[in-house]
Amino acid sequence: MYRLLIKHFFRSKTVWLAFGILMFLGVLSISTGKQFLNQKQATIAKTAEQQQKHIETQTKLYEDDIGLLLYYLKFSFVNPVQPLAGISMGQSDVNSHIQNVSILNLEGQKYDTDLVNPMRLQVGNLDISFLIIFLFPLIIIALSFNILSEEKEKGTWKMITTQGISPFKFLLKKLSIRVVFIYIALSILLFLAKVVLGIPFAIEFLYIIIISYLYILFWFALCFFVILLRKSSNTNAITLLSSWLVLVVFLPVLVNNYVANKYPVEEAFAMTIKQRDAYHTKWDTDKKETMEKFYNHYPQFRKYELKETGFSWLWYYAMQQMGDDESKVERDAMFDKIRKREQLSASIAQFFPPLQVQLSMNTIAHTDLSNYVAFLNETTRFHENIRLQLYPKIFENQPASSVNWQEYEPVFFEHQNNFNMLKSVFPLLLLTLILIGLGVFRNLKYFR
């Protein structure tokens, strides 16, 4: 029985076409991922060399004025790209991976973007996560929308029911061939991705595999449900395609639009103006007042006293510090908005598998928004560390050679995501079971 069904399945041109499309786009998406990883990794590899060169030239130019030297000197902080990012690029092509900051006012430097072609960003990426979320459902629909209706329309269904085999089992067999076939295609692609992108076989990759398989099962469950409504092939096709259109194309943009309009992040503008004004106005206000604020922030530097007249780096860097310190309210408001956006997206997404799968994959691959926010926050810590190391040198006016510049190599950011596998697959699993259950339940009297 199975053998004949499989034979029949592969006789269809649609099957070969579907397989061809999947493999072609699969290879294309993996190479896109590979190219993306290569570009990012090459840039990251160069930073160490560039930083060394930069420090060498600058320390030579300003060797006798460490205050001036540190006005120019920049230090790199790197958010490394995981190989999994090749599977799900998420927001990692939008946001910068390398921070290159001097010890001046950080808020003026932290949000600088990388150079990316906006056209490319708008068209979106062709990575495997896109293939799985967007294309696989369509192929599943094309392969299975008429497995029952076609038999009925051709008149072969009666022959099957009169042969004494359970029609329900027959239908399940037909569907299971398709499930196995699609799973094999997906496995080939994931294996290829693992080899080409150099993904280590760790728990994170396993999560991606499980989520993909469950997502595909969800679509089969939806097909199963619609098939068992026992309508004509045309109606099935239209119903399934409309569900696909709504779930994969329409709802995601609607949700995003809703979230973006509900929480517009205008605080970003307010913050960026504030950090400028807070620093610059200090040139015209009382020096002592500025210094007092600075000493309050760093009591350990109270021992460095300001001389009565003239310019001093102590005062200058205290002013710079005020840019960061006094824009804190606006900055917190901005990050609060971003957090709200994340929470709202996540809570809506759990009801809609395509959204849920995309967000989960991004989280697993460290390419989501929270990774970027964590990177920004960690940049602040990195910056503060360097400040604290170098402030005393400036305030004591030590020669530039007193610092061991060799130690200042790019620092790499390590991010622990708090991905909850159970929480992210539970709704998906539940929906799948409900669909299968409903399908079976409605048809109990037909299939025994």
Partner 1 sequence: MKNNAIILIGTQFFKKTFYTKGLFVLLSLFLAVLAYVTISGWNAYEANHHVVEHHQESSRKSWEENPDKHPHRMAHFGTFAFRAQHPLRIFDSGIESYTGNSIFLEAHRQNTANFSEASLSTGLVRFGDLNIAMLLQLILPLIIFFIGYASITAERENGTLKIIYIQGTPLNKVLLGKALGLFLLSTLFFLPSLLALWSISFIENHTMNSAIIVRSILISIGYIIFFMTLCCITVIVSAKSINSNRALLSLLAGWLLFFIIIPKTAQVIGNSLYPNLSKIEFKAVIEEEVTKQGDSHNPDDPYFNAVRDSVLKANNVTDVKDLPFNYSGFIMSKGEKQTALIYNDQHKKLIKTYEHQNSITDNLVLINPYLAIKNLSMSLSGTDFYTYTHFLSQTEKYRYQQSQYLNDLQMKFISNKAKSSEGKINVVDKSYWKSAPTFSYEYVSIADTIFNQITAIIALIIWLLLTIIFITKFSNRFKII
Q: Are 372 and 91 within 8 A, CB to CB?
A: yes
Single out the residue of 5, 142, 172, 209 in contact with partner 1 (rule: CB under 8 A): 142
Single out the residue of 16, 191, 283, 426 in contact with partner 1 (rule: CB under 8 A): 283
Q: What is the dihedral of CA 339, 343, 345, 351, to 10 degrees?
A: 170
Q: Does 272 sit near partner 1 (CB under 8 A)?
A: yes
User: Which residues, numbered 400-429, are part of the site for partner 1 (CB under 8 A)?
Assistant: none
CB closer to partner 1 out of 50 and 443 = 50
Q: Does 25 sit near partner 1 (CB under 8 A)?
A: yes
Shortest spacing between CB 163 and partner 1, in angstroms: 26
Q: Is residue 313 classed exposed, middle or buried when 0-12, 13-18 and 19+ CB atoms within 10 A define those classes?
A: middle
CB closer to partner 1 out of 311 and 441 = 311
373 Cβ partners below 8 Å, 6+ apart?
335, 338, 339
Q: Does 253 sit near partner 1 (CB under 8 A)?
A: yes
Q: Does 186 sit near partner 1 (CB under 8 A)?
A: no
Shortest spacing between CB 209 and partner 1, in angstroms: 19
End-to-end CA distance of the chain, in Å?
19
Q: Does 256 sit near partner 1 (CB under 8 A)?
A: yes
| Count of residues in contact with partner 1, rule CB under 8 A | 93
Single out the residue of 159, 210, 238, 433 in contact with partner 1 (rule: CB under 8 A): 238
Helix axes 353-364, 251-262, angle to 10 degrees: 70
Q: What DSSP element (H or E) covers 196?
A: helix 167-197
Interior CA angle at 25 toward 20 and 30, to 5°?
Answer: 130
Q: Does 432 sit near partner 1 (CB under 8 A)?
A: no
Q: Does 321 sit near partner 1 (CB under 8 A)?
A: no
For residue 306, the 8-state DSSP code is P
Q: Is 282 helix (H, G, I), strand (E, B) or coil?
A: helix
User: Which residues, numbered 70-109, are part of the site for partner 1 (CB under 8 A)?
Assistant: 76, 90-91, 94-96, 98, 100, 108
Helices (H), 12-79: 13-61, 66-72
User: Which residues, numbered 38-77, are part of the site for partner 1 (CB under 8 A)?
Assistant: 39, 43, 46-47, 50, 54, 57, 61, 76
Q: Does 252 sit near partner 1 (CB under 8 A)?
A: yes
Q: Does 178 sit near partner 1 (CB under 8 A)?
A: no
Which segment (292-300, 339-347, 391-399, 423-431) binds partner 1 by CB under 8 A?
A: 339-347
Q: Does 126 sit near partner 1 (CB under 8 A)?
A: yes
**Exposure b/e, 388-424, CB count within 10 A at least 16 = b:** eebbebbbeeeebeebebeebebbebeeeeeeeeeeb
Shortest spacing between CB 384 and partner 1, in angstroms: 21
Q: Does 286 sit near partner 1 (CB under 8 A)?
A: no
Place of tokens 């495997």: 128
Shortest spacing between CB 292 and partner 1, in angstroms: 19
- Nearest to residue 34, comparing CAs of 102, 91, 84, 74? 84
**Strand 98-101 to strand 75-78: parallel, antiparallel, or no bridges (unpaired)?**
antiparallel
User: Which residues, numbered 369-398, are part of the site for partner 1 (CB under 8 A)?
Assistant: 369, 372
Longest dimension (CA), the chain: 106
Single out the residue of 158, 280, 302, 381 in contact with partner 1 (rule: CB under 8 A): 280
Which segment (113-121, 173-181, 293-301, 377-385) binds partner 1 by CB under 8 A?
A: 113-121
The whole-angstrom separation of Cα 186 and Cα 180 is: 10
212 Cβ partners below 8 Å, 6+ apart?
132, 186, 190, 357
Which segment (134-142, 177-185, 214-222, 437-445) binds partner 1 by CB under 8 A?
A: 134-142
The whole-angstrom separation of Cα 297 and Cα 174 is: 71
Mark residues 145-164: x for contact with partner 1 by CB under 8 A, - for none: -x------------------
User: Which residues, numbered 195-224, are part of the site for partner 1 (CB under 8 A)?
Assistant: none
Single out the residue of 10, 12, 28, 300 in contact with partner 1 (rule: CB under 8 A): 28
Which segment (169-177, 179-187, 203-211, 367-375) binds partner 1 by CB under 8 A?
A: 367-375
For residue 79, the 8-state DSSP code is -
